[in-house]
Amino acid sequence: MIVNRKIAIVTGTSRLKGIGRAICIELAKNDIDIFFTFWSEYDKQMPWQTDDNEPDLIQAEISALGVRCEKLEFNFLGKEGVEALLNEVKNKLGFPTILVNNATYSTQTSIDTITAEELDKHYTVNFKVPALLTAEFVKQYQGHKNGRIINLTSGQTLSFMSNEVAYATTKGAIETLTRTISQEIAKKGITINAVNPGLTDTGWLDEKQKRIFSERFPMGRLGQPEDVAKLISFLVSENAEWITGQVIHSEGGFVREHYGS
């Protein structure tokens, strides 16, 4: 087994247009070995959909950058525990020094239509499993410094998110977790931060929506997966060792509906 190499777990990497893939590529460019998880069945049910071979294509693209790359289909709603996931990473690559909780579950839920089943799915994928994976990562962490945890969140604390009750509240919980444990895990040499990528063009917008939302970005363009990936690449580097417990909004100056107009 190769030692003294940085190894990152990036969850939720199913699509070529997704944020997960962009994060993996950016980290690989910085000579970090990658272990990513995917759950194609979820993406197939979403408007953007996905092809079965996209995880294979992503793995090949990462490997071509000269780093080791492994992947695992992992259903956060399944019975397999986070210990099994970490064991798989250790067996294939070694113990990870970086954890990026990128996997998400999102369907429209208003206060009038929300069900216990749908709320449980959001809670499990967006908070419960990331929290347990974080806990196990911290418990098993073998380094003395430079451990990094990044949680992907959203802009739910900046304004209302209509018809996103389950998504917004569970993403809010992951922000609270980030702040709450930051001091405790700093003693083990691990930093933890949450990143809000803002509205990002990952294939879910139609052309009309792209035109409308582009006008609300002062820079004149939509956010791209690579934008937040570059921020995360910095946050997992040694240069970011003094940043922890923060929620960082990477939105390109996005103007929300109730501001100004």
- 42 sits in which H/E element: helix 40-45
Q: CB neighbours of 191 closer than 8 A, spacing ≥ 6?
A: 147, 148, 149, 182, 185, 235, 240, 241, 243, 244
d(CA 55, CA 34): 13
Residue 17's Cβ-side half-sphere holds a number of Cα atoms within 13 Å equal to 12
Instruction: Give φ, ψ of 35 to 5 degrees.
Output: -125, 115
User: Is 105 an active-site residue?
Assistant: no
Is-contact 130 151, C-beta < 8 A? yes
Which residue among 42, 105, 141, 167 is the active-site one? 167
Number of CB atoms found within 10 A of residue 64's CB: 10
Q: Where in the sequence numbering do the catalytic residues fall?
A: 167
